[in-house]
Amino acid sequence: MAKSKFPDKNLLINQIMITSELVWRNNITRQKLDSWLSNFKGEVFAEKYEHELALWLLVNFVYYNESEVKHLCSMLFREFIHSNLIQEEGEIPECLVQLNKKVRFHFLGRSGESGAFLLYYFRKENKLSIRSFISDLDNLDDDVEEIVYVDDVTLSTGKQSQAYKYLVEDQKKIKNRKITILTLIASSKAIDFLKSQGYHIINCITLHERDRCFSDDSNIFHSHRDHQNDCKKMMEYYGKKIYSANFPLGYNNSEYSFGFFYNTPDNTLPIFWSNNNWTPIIERYEKNYGNTEYSTLGRFL
């Protein structure tokens, strides 16, 4: 049986350039797009077909620009306030005053990671006092009853997940205080896992199986299901070359297709962001946990 016809390559490129102008704030130029497409050299399928598959994934990539991240920060805080107010008695203004006394916001992870970066937008968009934020969990005031972690994505599950490790590590300092996790985007499995461990989690966007590129329910290939396996085969081939033999479809083979204006999660397909003998179409800034933070500064001296 003949496969369904993909949209024309030029049509896909035109759509991407329009999206770049309207959503990506011109972050993708035609030159940048052509350089990215040159990575696909016909090593799995005919080069033309590989370009069509890659472009189809890029057309369906979800990019959160600065305005959208600000909006999500506002939504997240409103959900948090609503969640707290329905548990309190009394007038709303007084409840907010008490909330301000009892709650402190903190980033999930380490100071140089995306949670800390997002915290600036969270505070600014919600017009919160600097007093409501803490950078150090040691020596918390006695009147602080709740620590609220803020992060951009919570996707992984299990006790080996990074988020869970951070929470367990901080628990010694927080002691018996209530913990709430605010995250822009979370997977349904991560939400279920954290709840099972006793954590309260609030998020704006929930990712399900249909949000994974190559799941049986994938939204991306809803109209072109007969091209899905080919695309997965191609992503696995190139993903092994440029990222990981074990996780060619992104960390833990998550198969996601989204990113933010300031960074891209490694759960997203590596063909978008890898710079390992590869020209990326979007940026990802890897975490460096070693002692080589200053090793590249010589080029500025």
Query: How distant, in Å, are the alpha carbons of 22, 59, 66, 114, 250 from that of 56?
Result: 18, 5, 24, 28, 18
Residue 242 located in a structural domain: yes
Residue 107 belongs to some domain of the structure: yes
**Greater confidence, 237 or 27?**
237
In angstroms, what CA-CA distances link 229 with 217, 226, 234, 236?
13, 7, 9, 10
Sequence-ordered strand ranges (E) for 96-136: 103-107
Q: Which residues of 114-145 are buried (b: 16+ CB within 10 A; e: fewer)?
A: bbbbbbebbbebbebeeeebbeebeebeeebb
Q: Are residues 236 and 192 in the same domain?
A: no
**Is 71 in the same domain as 203?**
yes
**C-alpha to C-alpha distance for 124 and 33, rounded to whole angstroms:** 34
Predicted confidence band of residue 236 (pLDDT cuts 50, 70, 90): very high
**Last residue in a domain, options 151, 184, 207:** 207
- Give percent above pLDDT 90 in the chain: 68
pLDDT at 93: 57
Domain for residue 128, yes or no? yes
Q: Decide if 215 is inside a domain.
A: no
Please check whether residues 76 and 165 belong to one and the same domain. yes
Residue 124, domain CATH = 3.40.50.2020
Q: Examine the domain organization and report whether 187 and 96 are in the same domain.
A: yes
Both 252 and 157 in a single domain?
no
**Both tokens of residue 252?**
């833990």
Could you read off the pLDDT of 248-266 as tens digits, one per residue? 999 999 999 999 999 999 9
Residue 290 domain-assigned? no
Which domain range does residue 187 map to?
66-207
Give me the mean pLDDT over the 204-209 stretch.
Answer: 98
Condensed to tens digits (0 to 9), the pLDDT of residues 60-75 reads 999 999 999 999 999 9
* Span 266-294, average pLDDT: 80
Residues 186 and 128 both lie in one domain: yes
Q: Strand locations in 51-117, DSSP E?
A: 62-64, 103-107
Cβ neighbors of 147 (< 8 A, separation 6 or more) are 103, 104, 106, 137, 140, 170, 174, 177, 178, 179, 180
- Highest mean pLDDT: which of 80-89, 201-210, 285-294? 201-210
Q: How far apart are CA 291 and CA 295, in angstroms?
A: 9
| pLDDT confidence tier of residue 8, bands split at 50, 70 and 90 | confident
Per-residue model confidence as pLDDT tens digits over 191-200: 999 999 999 9
Residue 190 domain-assigned (yes or no): yes
Cβ 6 vs Cβ 52: under 8 Å:
yes
Tell me: do 201 and 231 sit in the same domain. no
Cα separation, 114 vs 112, whole angstroms:
7
The tokens for 12 are 């896909």
Band of pLDDT at residue 19, cut at 50, 70 and 90: very high
Q: Same structural domain for residues 70 and 46?
A: no
Closest listed residue to residue 186, CA positions, set 167, 211, 218, 165: 211
Domain boundary at 180, 207, 234, which?
Answer: 207
- pLDDT by residue (tens digit) across 146-192? 999 999 999 988 888 888 899 999 988 898 899 999 999 999 999 99
Closest by CA to 200, choosing from 180, 175, 174, is 180
Domain annotation covers residue 81: yes
What's the distance, CA 168 to chain centroid? 22
The reply to whether 25 and 144 lie within a common domain is no
Q: State the total domains in the chain.
A: 2
Q: Are residues 170 and 72 in the same domain?
A: yes
- Let me know if residue 289 belongs to a domain: no
